[in-house]
Amino acid sequence: MKFCPKCDSRLAAADSKLRCSKCGYETANDAGAKPKEKKDAAPSTFKVLDASDVKSCQSTIKKDCEKCGNDEVVWWMLQTRSADEPTTQFYRCTKCSYTWRDYS
């Protein structure tokens, strides 16, 4: 319910407008004219990937696998959270997929 700002009379709905029958004041009838907007929709949740979990680089080097004796491994590094901690280096044998880590 809206009232005329000029004379405080009740505004009557006329088409898409609200009209004061007393002084002729008109205003847009926004109540009910527009479709109701969803306000309480659940906020979209994003799973934020920790940057430290992303493989920064991955390449093949010559290194002995202690499991099968293969001399080619894939290696990558993981960035640690704090600068004090050493970078964790991972190796994976290209032959038997044995994976181990190395703190350098």
Nearest to 54 by CA among 73, 75, 79: 79
Cβ nearer to Zn ion, comparing 79 with 95: 95
Taking the CB of residue 18, how many other CB atoms lie within 10 A of it? 21
Question: Catalytic: 66?
Answer: no
Residues within the interface to Zn ion (CB under 5 A): 4, 6-7, 9, 20, 22-23, 25, 65, 67-68, 70, 93, 95-96, 98
Cβ nearer to Zn ion, comparing 81 with 101: 101
Bridge partners of 93?
Answer: 73
CA–CA separation, 84 vs 74, rounded Å?
A: 26
Least spacing, CB of residue 31 vs Zn ion, in Å: 18
